[in-house]
Amino acid sequence: MMIKNFGARVVSVWEGLRPMTKKMLVGAMQANVAVPTQTFSYDAHADWEVSRLLSALDEQATDAEILKDAEKLSEIKHLAETCADVLESKTESAEIFIQLADRALNRNNYKKIDKLTDILSTRFSVGEMCEIVRQTVNPAIRALGYETLALVPVVNLLPLVDDPFYQEIVRNVLEQQAFEYESEEARAILEQLEFEELIGE
């Protein structure tokens, strides 16, 4: 794999990666698994680095000159898919979830969307789920966020009820739980919130 042939932006991002991130990606490509086992730690900085590299690779894969070179295009796509697999297996970031979901939707890869929805419900915090709804401009991804939040226990939503960034999202989720899922607990919380608002006025 000759990174220097992948275009200036990819080279620049690659050169900015920490050695441990480079080793992780090379190991993942060689082992053909999302993340090589044991020896590699993964942190928020690695998340950001791999995300930037994926963006650069996806952009380069649409370059007219690259499209003429089947071998180079295949190598770029292989590294891009490795990056996506690493992120899918490790990330807990709203921004990166949106990146991966946008990427899957653009490719009409609905199997991947199902997989991303699964990790959203098992790995992401309620705050990050809300952040996905807040940040995305894609209605399909916003709907995924809301659908996942609707399955969150009411008690886990309560800490964000008064959060200025998320209170509208949480209120929408509680209404969905109360009226679509007939949750008495969610209905009681909504009534309490309405009462407090009335008193506040």
The DSSP line for 66-110 is: HHT-HHHHHHHHHHHHHHHHHHHHH---HHHHHHHHHHHHHTT-H
The confidence band for 194, taking pLDDT boundaries of 50, 70 and 90, is confident
Domain boundary among the residues 67, 90, 113 is at 90
Domain boundary among the residues 37, 64, 90 is at 90
Same-domain check for residues 82 and 67: yes
Range of the domain at 18: 1-90
The confidence band for 30, taking pLDDT boundaries of 50, 70 and 90, is confident
Structure tokens at 199: 């008193």
- pLDDT per residue over 99-148, tens digit each? 999 999 999 999 999 999 999 999 999 999 999 999 999 999 999 999 99
pLDDT at residue number 195: 81
- pLDDT per residue over 62-92, tens digit each? 998 889 999 999 999 999 999 999 999 999 9
pLDDT at residue number 42: 86
Same-domain check for residues 152 and 121: yes
C-alpha 98/C-alpha 96 separation (Å) is 5
- Give the number of C-alpha atoms closer than 13 A to the C-alpha of residue 40, restricted to the C-beta side: 21
Q: How many domains in the chain?
A: 2
Same-domain check for residues 15 and 82: yes
C-alpha 112/C-alpha 94 separation (Å) is 17
Same-domain check for residues 106 and 58: no
Same-domain check for residues 4 and 26: yes
Task: State the pTM of this model.
Answer: 0.91
